[in-house]
């Protein structure tokens, strides 16, 4: 049985967040949490929050034990981009793109 948790609209670009999610794919939940707590990036905090939510979903909704869970998939997709403009010289304007992302984590129970 697969357990899903999604963090929508994270105020971080998907490119920056993918670097962190690549590190935890295929790992046990406890090992993934250790890696995320020792990673000094904003993306690690957001992925850790999503992973803890997935663990709580597994324990509460599916009666699974956290020790047996494995990160099957950790995917980051692009969210909507907030478009802003900054004034430039001679009355022109320069675009500012504030990117967002959607973090999706899927857990499964290991067979070990």
Tell me the pLDDT tens digit for each residue of 16-70. 999 999 999 999 999 999 999 999 999 999 999 999 999 999 999 999 999 999 9
Residue percentage of the chain with pLDDT more than 90: 96
Domain ranges of the chain: 3-109
Fold classification of 3-109 (topology level):
Ribosomal Protein L22; Chain A (3.90.470)
Mean pLDDT of 77-99: 97
Q: Which residues contact 53 (CB under 8 A, 6 or more apart)?
A: 5, 7
Q: Backbone dihedral region of 51: left (phi > 0), alpha (psi from -120 to 50 degrees) or beta?
A: alpha
Residue identified by tokens 């909507």 is: 80
Q: What DSSP character marks residue 13? A: -
């Amino acid at each position: 049985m697969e357990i899903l948790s999604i963090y929508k609209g994270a105020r971080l670009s998907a490119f920056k967040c993918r670097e962190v999610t690549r590190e935890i794919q295929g790992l046990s939940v406890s090992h993934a949490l250790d890696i995320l707590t020792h990673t000094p990036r904003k993306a690690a905090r957001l992925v850790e929050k999503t992973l803890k939510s997935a663990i709580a979903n597994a324990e509460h909704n599916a009666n699974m034990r956290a020790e047996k869970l494995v990160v099957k998939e950790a995917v980051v997709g692009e969210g909507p981009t907030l478009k802003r403009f900054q004034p430039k010289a001679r009355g022109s304007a320069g675009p500012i793109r504030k990117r967002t992302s959607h973090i999706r984590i899927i857990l499964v129970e290991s067979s070990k």
